[in-house]
Structure 1
């Protein structure tokens, strides 16, 4: 059998770069970037759809008043997508490994497109409560579509970055994954503002339905783009699509690392809920939220969401310069410091005359969150395991993160309530907790996760193959096409070796 042409797992990254196929250099920059865009940019829909629902709930509360207050949908509409997202992350994590990266991505895009459109058209025989229930049901399925974007899209984007210029790969991954989520949040706040302005703060049903319907435009555009993108090269080479996955060996090799990534993601999403309490404080210091027109509420909501952008945009190249491990740890430590300062000085900052200073510090706090965990936790999840199980590994970690967000929405009200009648203590406690969890995240990432460089994916694939082979697993079928036998693969390798030998003037005798 011919010697397999897998990068030496002990090679440094300079040596590995020399092993890259020459034909990759012939591709234009846009040709190599387009698969990253097509795979990762779907997370824009995650940010948009999750943020726009806040504006929708605001409108429904105004439009239906007492009917809305007494409905069960009031308690579940905003959170039901979390449950769907967890289901989508787990299901599509498996499908992206055992079926197809791109087919899984196309399926999740169709689900997202169809059910986002259905949310905009929610109706039940003219009954408001029935309409609330239909809207909630459709939101669950929208969550499944969003969940599929995480393992299918993000791992495809990570694998596609291997063809980009070394020294920029982490940046491009971040710009078309987490940065897309953050821009989705901004646009998800801005679109209701524009629609409300166009409707002169009237025609409430039109405002929330149009705002939801616009969310279907983005997956529709991506659906067209994704039809022209093939499977990532790493997946073609190293997938376990046609061989039984050795889950026991995988658990022994990656179990502790997956637990660490999942805990960090859980903590990040769990804590993120507490960040929102300050946005309501800022708004309350600027205007009366109970009587202000929708355009005022939505306009300031857009401004607050813009705080995420500097952190994710400036932090993207930082992850290439210092590595995502250090960028994450440094970002959350700085965020902890700012969070502790905000909590300690809350009594002086949370006054109308201090709204400018308060807003500035709050913006720095949000930006540091994106520079650290926001940018890098998905990157670490995508690049700290081998291609054959990357979708499931990423899907589990992302699902644990979403569970953390859901738990946070239920736990933090109790933390706030612990402050009793003191408004200051009620606002301080969540940030003491969040700051402490940021420090814990930094410790976990520094102790439990490896360095991630430019060629980590290729090196990790080689390391995983060597481990499987050392434990008696036949790796020769990894990455082979449907119906292709191992013997046929060996013949192809021998033929390739003969061609190479002849080209070098080293024709083997007797063959």
Structure 2
């Protein structure tokens, strides 16, 4: 195995002297993959991560609504128009902070774990939001804009941290069949946050209507209340984040802590304790965790993984598509008021009416295009796949921005048509690359670098947002007076070209629909690494890390005559509690249930000894079967055969049938088991072996 995986290499599973598995076994992750139904932990994860994104979007997009208020209060001498540089700083400083937060928290999430970091970013958001609302001392304070700009940067750091942390936490707690949908639901809260920013602004404007009409300086209270409300959802979920258990995949893949991973999965799947841990298991688990910690080097692992072109190409794909998307997405979203003015959402010149109409226009676009786009992705991402949705979104955006550019002035004369085209653009942003560029980086990279890579991808997007924020007004005002945005049609045409580049960059990313994170991780490995990975991957070999005691407790026989111990007249056909033999223990390491036939037609003769106990010693074929389970299993004592007495008491009995039922085997294991059983069939014509 190459050095790229060396810091996280694991020993192959083995059976210790007590007959139990070594704790390096990757236990309950199969339970997590099988968890398809909605339970409380799934809902809690959605609330915990989704509320953060709601707050992120609310805080980011509220600036688009309060900037006009700041202009009316602090820039009366320019008719309420904030200078281009100042406005760009107000809108863009949060993006600078977000870029920093995405890089920093992405790194910290991989280096120190999800549990230790998750929640810190929300604390920063709460602090930044509160201080933004309190910026300056009064409406006449000359430093209000400077304070607001600074605290928007701090706020952005927290928002940025939420991207890689929420994405990785949600991805690693989800099953393959629901992962894309759950991540899309989390991200869809951005649309709800955007919408609620408009709703709350309308409500607060209505409450202050008389005061605003009496004195425009009362808008100073309005914008502060609008911002301050953003603290409420963040404060309400901070406890949930701080008490979120460690991701089971991080615990298993990076920390090598089987006990922590199994406990986390049991909590998530509501299955209770999945293992019975012996003292020896606990000691061995502690040793494995200590060894993993000593060998862990996140910087080396990151560099070695992305030094291979096949892996770096994917990072370039996720970063470039997000970068190109955000140029247009934030260029339009953070300057939507100008587009809305062109669409006819213009007041009568009175301050209150202007603000009301602009906010109503934002809400209209959110309800018709922004929010529905997210939810189309939620319901279709697991059917269509990530890549197809992203291709479709970039293609449609290219066409729609071309239409807006080439027919801009004609569309202005037909407001409903202008609204329809612009709303469609917002729809395909979110039923398209705005959602998928968030989802894909949370899936395509291995656990040890997932948060860092997602942070880099998101930061690349934010770099595009920064360019759009600072250049939009300057470019839009080319050839006209300040505030006219005479170059806006041409700028929309530039956005069309950027979306076309995004379409091409999408070819660099892989499709992940229906694949487990472990299957996706193999894509970044060489054939030699895949061979070692599969040998070390205990998920496919023993799903539940059962100990000897738990095997004995769960072992049972099923009578082929009645199929149920309760319905048999003498209740002797199926002993549900007895010590499993060494051979039976070895088989049960594969999560097997052995189904034996009932040997006697005479009910009075049914006993544990005569009905279910094997009668012969190990044969060579038995050794082969035990070797399939574990190299050391064949030497377990006492050696007891799987065979049953082939001599029927009655010709009507099922004594010549022995079914071995194995659950949760991977494809390769099934093929190998079939090969072994074929040999047994050839050597024993009286016994039939079936794999179900």
2:635 alignment partner in structure 1: 509
1:211 alignment partner in structure 2: 226
* Larger RCO, structure (CA 8 Å, separation 6 or more): 1
2:324 alignment partner in structure 1: 267
The answer as to 2:340 corresponding to 1:282 is yes
Q: What are the Cα deviations for residues 476-495 of structure 1, in whole angstroms up to 9, with x where unaligned? A: 899xxxxxxxxxxxxx9796
Task: Summarize the Cα distance change of 1:97–1:468 in structure 2 as closer, same or farther, 3 Å threshold.
Answer: farther
Task: Tell me the distance in 1 between the aligned counterparts of 2:164 and 2:221.
Answer: 34
Q: What are the Cα deviations for residues 205-237 of structure 1, in whole angstroms up to 9, with x where unaligned? A: 221111111011111112122244212222222
Q: Would you say the 8 A contact 2:51–2:189 is kept in 1?
A: yes
2:377 alignment partner in structure 1: 315
If each structure's helix is expressed as a fraction of its own residues, which one has the higher value? 1
Out of 353, 357, 362, the position equivalent to 1:296 is 357
> How many residues align structurally?
479
Task: Tell me the distance in 2 between the aligned counterparts of 1:403 and 1:380.
Answer: 19
2:448 alignment partner in structure 1: 388
Task: Summarize the Cα distance change of 1:368–1:25 in structure 2 as closer, same or farther, 3 Å threshold.
Answer: closer
2:297 alignment partner in structure 1: 244
Secondary structure at 2:459's aligned position in 1? helix
Task: Summarize the Cα distance change of 1:412–1:65 in structure 2 as closer, same or farther, 3 Å threshold.
Answer: closer
Task: Tell me the distance in 2 between the aligned counterparts of 1:497 and 1:2.
Answer: 23
Task: Summarize the Cα distance change of 1:28–1:260 in structure 2 as closer, same or farther, 3 Å threshold.
Answer: closer
Task: Summarize the Cα distance change of 1:73–1:56 in structure 2 as closer, same or farther, 3 Å threshold.
Answer: same
The answer as to 2:60 corresponding to 1:50 is yes
2:148 alignment partner in structure 1: 135
Task: Tell me the distance in 1 between the aligned counterparts of 2:122 and 2:370.
Answer: 25
Q: CA deviation at 1:404?
A: 0.6
Secondary structure at 2:521's aligned position in 1? helix
1:257 alignment partner in structure 2: 314
1:363 alignment partner in structure 2: 423
Q: Would you say the 8 A contact 1:124–1:134 is kept in 2?
A: no
Alignment of 1:229-240 (within 5 A): 229-239=244-254
Gaps of 5+ in 1: 6-17, 479-491
Task: Tell me the distance in 1 between the aligned counterparts of 2:90 and 2:366.
Answer: 21
Task: Summarize the Cα distance change of 1:63–1:320 in structure 2 as closer, same or farther, 3 Å threshold.
Answer: same
Gaps of 5+ in 2: 1-9, 15-27, 213-217, 256-291, 539-543, 552-584, 595-625, 627-632, 638-692
Q: CA deviation at 1:454?
A: 2.5
Task: Summarize the Cα distance change of 1:22–1:434 in structure 2 as closer, same or farther, 3 Å threshold.
Answer: closer
Task: Summarize the Cα distance change of 1:28–1:362 in structure 2 as closer, same or farther, 3 Å threshold.
Answer: closer
Q: CA deviation at 1:433?
A: 1.5
Task: Summarize the Cα distance change of 1:425–1:205 in structure 2 as closer, same or farther, 3 Å threshold.
Answer: closer
The answer as to 2:366 corresponding to 1:305 is yes
Task: Summarize the Cα distance change of 1:125–1:212 in structure 2 as closer, same or farther, 3 Å threshold.
Answer: closer
Task: Tell me the distance in 2 between the aligned counterparts of 1:396 and 1:144.
Answer: 14
Task: Tell me the distance in 2 between the aligned counterparts of 1:261 and 1:23.
Answer: 25
Task: Summarize the Cα distance change of 1:85–1:31 in structure 2 as closer, same or farther, 3 Å threshold.
Answer: same
Structure with greater Cα Rg? 2
Query: Is the deviation greater in 298-307 or in 341-350?
Result: 298-307
Alignment of 1:424-503 (within 5 A): 426-445=487-506, 447-463=507-523, 469=529, 501=586, 503=588
